[in-house]
């Protein structure tokens, strides 16, 4: 088949891994508690349009930024704000994070693009760490950070004193599950509360109704969930010596467990009827992209995407999908299935709707991620005729069927043309060297930070 015939128009929708539509769900008509399948109660394109959001400001879309590369992706793909951390006091010690020498540049970059910066200072510091906090907070304040995410009350008070220009947001680590706790934090000076993940939509609706309008409410809408209450867990501390309350969780809830009787050492019995044992603490990932009208209707001011430790591809894909769906929800446009499908094109565990409609259920099969798509190249530049410069991430060859995704554009499929050249203009059939620069012609101009990917699943 010739290349020209396989290239699809920009409005084409790939259906390599389609998700079946299901029945509608609302806070008034929730799915059965314990139901974990996303397709069991997904909003369809038809009833999405019947559920426009009106009378409310559009919530802020808050995306993770584990380092400068991921920050730039989140900004390019539509985040209103990003959350990040320095090398201390953040709850993701292995996310890359920002040394102070780079943090000023990160804040400046985001602000130049109209994006706010929230910095996590949400560990539970020990005495020696508290002594370092004032200077750190003064630095963040001087850099122009817009908000600090805090959990410890002592750190909260220090932020009031040493970072007076930064809004103070209460971390989900504080476990706010009721309106009285939210009120108290607001009375103490908090501008926003990030609600515990264990809350239902109806509980959030009550908190909104019984707290001052000046208190902003934020909630997670996508990403990994912790088996422990609002992430406060001692398993990692006990089993590995890595403190989960100071950003170093080893995720022992993902380990493979079996039962052993004390008088039969070395004999392991599966907890469920499965020869491979059981993952008894394993949680599903959250995905609320089908339910943005419901989230907006209960009065949330910010929708937060989990994932500071995840890839730049994740930050771009999930930010872009939620950006388009949130805009569509407020415009009364039907849900475009291509964005619903995007959430399946990143590495993830089986999805659920968290606790918003009832308990999400556990996933006992294994702790592995679903990884059906692979990034093969990053677009670094393109002229007006579609001649692009790219940087290789994974090898591919002429004739492969791939997809192109980019900021502000719908992904579309194409076949790799036979006109690829290296940096010197020599023909290529299979770029192989990681990070190598090469050139490729596209049907139309494409923006920088676009990515090529290919399907690698079964």
What are the domain boundaries of the chain? 3-14+372-455, 38-225+283-352
Q: What is the pLDDT of residue 32?
A: 35
Q: What is the pLDDT of residue 187?
A: 98
pLDDT at 111 over 50: yes
pLDDT at 70 over 90: yes
Residue 453 to residues 7, 16, 188, 240, 308, Cα–Cα distance (Å): 15, 13, 48, 36, 21
Three-state SS for 217-275 is EEEEEEECCCCCHHHCCCHHHHHHCCCHHHCCCCCHHHCCECECCCCCCCCCECCCCCC
Q: How many residues does the chain have?
A: 458
Pairing of strands 285-287, 192-194: unpaired
Q: What is the pLDDT of residue 224?
A: 85
Q: Classify each residue of 90-100 as buried b or exposed e, where b means 16 or more C-beta atoms within 10 Å of its C-beta.
A: bbbbebbbbee
38-225+283-352 classified as CATH 2.40.40.20: no
101-110, 239-248, 264-273, 332-341 — which one is most confidently predicted on average? 101-110
Listed as own residue / partner, the contacts of 414-420 with beta carbons closer than 8 Å and 24 or more positions apart are: 414/6, 414/7, 414/8, 414/442, 414/443, 415/1, 415/3, 415/6, 415/7, 416/440, 417/3, 417/441, 418/3
Confirm if 281 and 227 have CB atoms less than 8 A apart. yes
CATH of span 3-14+372-455: 2.40.30.10
Q: How many helices (H) and strands (E) does the chain have?
A: 13, 17
Question: Greatest CA span in the chain, whole angstroms?
Answer: 74
Q: Which of 132, 101, 98, 135 is nearest to 118 (CA)?
A: 98
- Determine if the pTM surpasses 0.95: no
Whether 3-14+372-455 shares its CATH topology with 38-225+283-352 is answered: no
pLDDT at 236 over 70: no
Residue 306 to residues 82, 295, 366, Cα–Cα distance (Å): 11, 16, 21
């Amino acid at each position: 088949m010739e290349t020209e015939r396989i290239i699809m128009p920009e409005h084409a929708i790939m259906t390599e891994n389609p998700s079946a539509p299901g029945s509608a769900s609302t806070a008034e008509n929730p799915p059965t508690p314990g139901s974990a399948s996303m397709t069991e109660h997904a909003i369809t394109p038809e009833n999405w349009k019947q559920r426009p959001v009106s009378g409310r400001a559009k919530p802020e879309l808050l995306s993770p930024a584990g380092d400068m590369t991921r920050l730039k992706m989140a900004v390019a793909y539509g985040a209103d704000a990003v959350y990040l951390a320095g090398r201390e006091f953040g709850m993701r010690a292995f996310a890359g994070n920002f040394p102070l020498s780079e943090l000023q540049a990160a804040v400046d970059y985001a602000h130049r693009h109209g994006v706010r910066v929230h910095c996590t200072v949400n560990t539970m510091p020990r005495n020696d760490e508290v002594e370092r906090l004032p200077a750190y907070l003064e630095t963040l304040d001087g850099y122009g950070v817009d908000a600090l995410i805090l959990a410890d009350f002592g750190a909260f008070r220090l932020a009031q004193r040493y970072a007076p220009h930064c809004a103070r947001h209460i971390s989900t680590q504080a476990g706010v599950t009721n309106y009285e706790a939210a009120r108290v934090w607001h009375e103490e000076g908090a501008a926003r509360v990030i609600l515990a993940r264990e809350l239902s939509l109806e509980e959030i609706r009550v908190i909104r109704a019984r707290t001052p309008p000046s208190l902003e409410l934020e909630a997670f809408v996508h990403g990994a969930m912790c088996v422990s209450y609002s992430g406060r867990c001692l398993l990692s501390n006990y089993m590995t010596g890595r403190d989960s309350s100071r950003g170093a969780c080893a995720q022992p809830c993902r380990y493979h467990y079996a039962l052993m009787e004390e008088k039969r050492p070395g004999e392991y019995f599966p907890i469920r009827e499965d020869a491979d044992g059981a993952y008894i603490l394993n949680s599903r990932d959250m995905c609320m992209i089908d339910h943005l009208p419901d989230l907006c209707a209960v009065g949330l001011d910010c929708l937060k995407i989990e994932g500071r430790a995840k890839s730049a591809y994740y930050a771009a894909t999930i930010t872009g999908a939620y950006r388009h769906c949130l805009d569509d929800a407020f415009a009364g446009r039907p849900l475009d299935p291509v964005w619903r499908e995007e959430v399946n094109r990143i590495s993830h565990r089986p999805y659920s709707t968290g606790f918003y409609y009832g308990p999400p259920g556990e996933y006992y099969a294994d702790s592995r991620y679903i990884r059906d798509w692979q990034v093969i190249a990053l677009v670094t530049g393109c002229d007006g005729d579609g001649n692009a410069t790219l940087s290789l991430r994974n090898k591919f060859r002429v004739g492969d069927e791939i997809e192109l995704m980019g900021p502000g554009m719908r992904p579309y499929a194409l076949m790799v043309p036979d006109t690829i050249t290296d940096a010197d203009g020599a023909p290529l059939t299979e770029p192989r060297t990681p990070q190598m620069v090469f050139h490729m012609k596209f049907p139309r101009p494409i923006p920088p930070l676009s990515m090529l990917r290919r399907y690698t699943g079964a």
